[in-house]
């Protein structure tokens, strides 16, 4: 006998299926135990769905530039502090607890090649729902994500020795959690994105560390690096790095006219007014040019600080008054003395 399909019957059947689904969920019959893993077909289906989604969304929702090969040290250091626990790293197995998750994190040395740079960027930036794969904690730090994409790209060919050299995981000392990126000398291991902290003003270092610890900064990398540190520990770190030879010893250099005099016609004050010993701003001379320029550009794009009356945050206003084509010149001129620091004792 043929059953005649009518709208009423279709709606009734759909309602019955929905009710059955609700009943199964309500009775607690959906197996959620991580210990039993997924069926093979479920694993395949979920992974296939994830890969398709990464492909589609990465095609429509990623910036022009998705990879930056110049900052492997900070990315490696961050991988060690934030990703290794789940994914493992060259020569380092994942934590047994994380490996007992369903799904557990794949060894990226084996899977990275399955994804394009754009897809890796999208995954690292946005994370993957229902899997434990977290999103990048700071929005607006695509530069940090780009460096991580490059690092993940290197994993398939990276030896344990290379990974240890990048992260300096074997370097002992009370500030071992800092020196992997900043170097035991606090000079930033020659990286353009890692600032020199040696010889910086102590109060400024502490101010910056407290902002990172309170998650009021804009760096996922530094927020993670100081998470769990107590205020006395932050103070000890500030004391330690401020006392080292570094920025305070940077030799005087021929300053850029804006650093020296500002642009009085455009109400741009001289940088020297604040960025010298005894004034409120951090020391800039001898700092990395790439870092300085990046900070100035970040302030220019920071739409959350537009109120000129906020005296506690003068830099957003000042950075916007610097002509765009002068930023690199100012940064380079400030950084001139930095090379002399490397030879410091």
Residue ranges binding ligand HEC (CB under 6 A): 47, 50, 74, 77-78, 81-83, 85-87, 98, 103, 105-106, 108, 111, 120, 123-124, 128, 131-134, 148, 152, 175, 177-178, 180-182, 193-195, 197, 205, 208-209, 218-219, 221-222, 225-226, 237, 258, 268-269, 271, 273-275, 280-282, 284, 292, 295-296, 314-315, 318, 322, 330
Residue 157 CB, nearest approach to ligand HEC (Å): 16
Kindly state the smallest distance separating residue 64's Cβ from ligand HEC, in Å.
20
Complex with ligand HEC: residue 21 or 257, whichever CB lies closer: 257
Residue (131 or 162) nearer to ligand HEC, CB: 131
Nearest Cα to Cα of residue 135 among 144, 119, 146, 123: 123
Identity of the residue, 204 or 344, whose beta carbon is nearer to ligand HEC in the bound complex: 204
Question: How deeply is 132 buried, as exposed, middle or buried, from its count of CB atoms within 10 A (0-12, 13-18, 19+)?
Answer: middle
User: In this complex, which beta carbon is closest to ligand HEC, that of residue 9 or of residue 49?
Assistant: 49
Following DSSP, what letter does each residue of 19-85 receive, concatenated? HHHHHHHHTT-S---GGG---HHHHHHHHHHHHHHHHHHHHHS--S----TT-HHHHHHHIIIIIHH
User: Cα 196 vs. chain centroid, distance in angstroms?
Assistant: 18
By C-beta, is 23 or 63 nearer to ligand HEC?
63
* DSSP helix/strand/coil, 89: strand
Closest distance of CB 296 from ligand HEC, Å: 5
Min. distance of Cβ 173 from ligand HEC in angstroms?
11
Which residue, chain included where needed, has tokens 């434990």? Answer: 132
Burial class (CB in 10 A: 0-12, 13-18, 19+), 3: exposed
Element (H or E) spanning 316, and its range? Answer: helix 314-321
Minimal distance, residue 344 CB to ligand HEC, in Å: 18
Min dist. Cβ of residue 240 to ligand HEC (A): 8
Rounded to an integer, what distance in angstroms lies between the CA atom of residue 212 and that of residue 223? 5
Query: How many residues does this entry show for the chain?
Result: 345
Here the tokens at position 95 are 């934590």
Nearer to ligand HEC, 24 or 168 (CB): 168
3-class secondary structure, 133: strand
Q: Which of 146/182 has CB closer to ligand HEC?
A: 182
CB of 66 to ligand HEC, least distance (A): 12
């Amino acid at each position: 006998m043929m059953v005649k399909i009518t709208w009423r019957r279709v709606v009734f059947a759909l309602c019955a299926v929905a009710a059955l689904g609700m009943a199964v969920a309500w009775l607690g019959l959906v197996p959620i135990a991580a210990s039993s893993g997924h069926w093979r077909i479920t694993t395949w289906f979920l992974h296939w769905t994830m890969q398709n989604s990464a492909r589609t969304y990465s095609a429509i929702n990623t910036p022009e530039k998705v990879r930056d090969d110049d900052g492997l040290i900070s990315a490696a250091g961050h991988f060690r502090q934030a990703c290794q626990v789940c994914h493992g790293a060259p020569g380092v197995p994942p934590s047994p607890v994380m490996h007992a998750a369903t799904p557990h994190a794949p060894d990226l040395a084996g899977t990275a090649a399955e994804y394009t740079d754009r897809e890796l960027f999208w995954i690292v930036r946005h994370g993957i729902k229902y899997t434990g794969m977290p999103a990048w904690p700071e929005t607006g730090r695509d530069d940090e994500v780009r460096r991580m994409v490059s690092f993940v790209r290197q994993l398939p060919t990276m030896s344990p020795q290379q990974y240890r050299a990048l992260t300096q995981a074997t370097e002992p000392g009370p500030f071992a959690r800092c020196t992997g990126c900043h170097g035991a000398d606090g000079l930033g291991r020659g990286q353009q994105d890692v600032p020199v902290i040696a010889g910086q003003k102590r109060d400024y270092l502490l101010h910056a560390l407290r902002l990172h610890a309170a998650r009021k900064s804009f760096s996922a990398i530094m927020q993670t690096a100081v998470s769990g540190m107590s205020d006395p520990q932050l103070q000890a770190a500030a004391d330690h790095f401020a006392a080292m030879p570094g920025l305070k010893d940077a030799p005087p250099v021929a300053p850029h006219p804006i650093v020296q005099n500002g642009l009085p016609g455009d109400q741009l004050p001289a940088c020297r007014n604040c960025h010298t010993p005894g004034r409120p701003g951090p020391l800039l001379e001898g700092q990395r040019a790439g870092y300085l320029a990046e900070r100035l550009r970040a302030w220019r794009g920071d739409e959350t600080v537009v109120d000129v009356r906020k005296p506690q945050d003068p830099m957003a206003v000042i950075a916007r008054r610097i002509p765009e084509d002068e930023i690199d010149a100012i940064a380079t001129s400030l950084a001139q003395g930095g090379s002399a620091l490397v030879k410091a004792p």
